Amino acid sequence: MMNEILVITIGAILVNNFVLAKFLGICPFLGVSKKLETAIGMSGAVIFVMTLATFVTSLIFKMVLSENSYFSHLSGLKFGFLQTLVFILVIAGLVQIVEIIMQKKAPKLYSALGIYLPLITTNCAVLGSAVINAKEGRGIIFSTIFGFSSAVGFSLALLLFASIREKLELARIPKVFQGTSIALITAGILAMAFMGFSGLVK
Amino acid sequence: MIILYSILILCVVALILGLSIGITAKYFLVEQDPQVEKILSLLPGANCGGCGFAGCSDFAKSLSEGKAEVEGCPVASAEVRKLIAQVLGKSVSDYIRKVAVVLCGGSNNFARKISEYNGIADCRSANIIAGGGKACRYGCLGFASCARVCPVNAIEICDGLAVVHSDICIGCGKCVKACPRNLIKLVPETITVHVFCSSKDKGVDKKKLCDVPCIGCRKCVKVAGEDEMLVDGFLVRTNYEKGPAADLPLRAGCPTNCLGNSFPYSYKKLSKGLIEEKVA
Q: Which CATH class is domain B35-88?
A: mainly alpha
pLDDT band at A188 (very low <50, low <70, confident <90, very high): very high
Task: Give the tens place of pLDDT for each residue, B200-214.
Answer: 888 888 888 888 888
In a domain, A50, yes or no: yes
pLDDT band at B18 (very low <50, low <70, confident <90, very high): very high
In a domain, A1, yes or no: no
pLDDT band at B92 (very low <50, low <70, confident <90, very high): low
pLDDT band at A202 (very low <50, low <70, confident <90, very high): low
Any idea what the Cα angle at residue A90 is, between residues A87 and A91, rounded to 5°? 85
Percentage of chain A lying above the pLDDT 70 cut: 98
For residues A152-177, average pLDDT: 90
pLDDT band at A163 (very low <50, low <70, confident <90, very high): very high
Task: Give the tens place of pLDDT for each residue, A1-32.
Answer: 888 899 899 989 999 888 888 888 888 888 88
In a domain, A13, yes or no: no
Contact flag B10-A86 (C-beta cutoff 8 Å): yes
For residues A158-181, average pLDDT: 89
Separation in Å, CA of B10 to nearest CA in chain A: 7
Task: Give the tens place of pLDDT for each residue, B248-274.
Answer: 877 888 888 888 777 655 444 444 444
Does the pTM surpass 0.80? The reply is no
H helical segments located in B102-173: 123-128, 145-149
pLDDT band at B278 (very low <50, low <70, confident <90, very high): very low
What domain range is A75 assigned to?
Answer: 24-195
Alpha carbons A119 and A43: distance in angstroms, whole number: 12
B202 contacts B168 by C-beta, under 8 angstroms: no
Look at residue A64 in the predicted model and tell me its pLDDT.
Answer: 83
Separation in Å, CA of A52 to nearest CA in chain B: 15
In a domain, A5, yes or no: no
Task: Give the tens place of pLDDT for each residue, B49-68.
Answer: 777 777 787 888 888 887 77
DSSP letter string, B168-203: T-----HHHHH-TT--EEEEETT--EEE-----S-H
Average pLDDT, chain A: 86
For residues B104-120, average pLDDT: 84
Look at residue B221 in the predicted model and tell me its pLDDT.
Answer: 85
Q: Is the pLDDT of residue A147 over 80?
A: yes
In a domain, A201, yes or no: no
Domain ranges of chain B: 35-88, 98-271
As for how many domains chain A has, the answer is 1
A92 contacts A123 by C-beta, under 8 angstroms: no
pLDDT band at B70 (very low <50, low <70, confident <90, very high): confident
Report in angstroms the alpha-carbon separations of A30 from A36, A113, A157, A161, A182. Answer: 12, 18, 11, 9, 12
Task: Give the tens place of pLDDT for each residue, B124-163.
Answer: 888 888 777 888 888 888 888 998 888 888 888 888 888 8
In a domain, A167, yes or no: yes
Task: Give the tens place of pLDDT for each residue, B162-181.
Answer: 888 888 888 888 888 889 99
Look at residue A191 in the predicted model and tell me its pLDDT.
Answer: 92
Separation in Å, CA of B21 to nearest CA in chain A: 5
Q: Is the pLDDT of residue B102 over 50?
A: yes
Contact flag B24-A101 (C-beta cutoff 8 Å): yes
* Residues near B267 by beta carbon (within 8 Å), at least 6 away in sequence: B158, B163, B260, B261, B274
Chain A residues in contact with chain B using a Cβ-Cβ cutoff of 8 Å:
60, 64-65, 71, 75, 77, 79, 82, 85-86, 89-90, 93-94, 96-97, 100-101, 103-105, 107
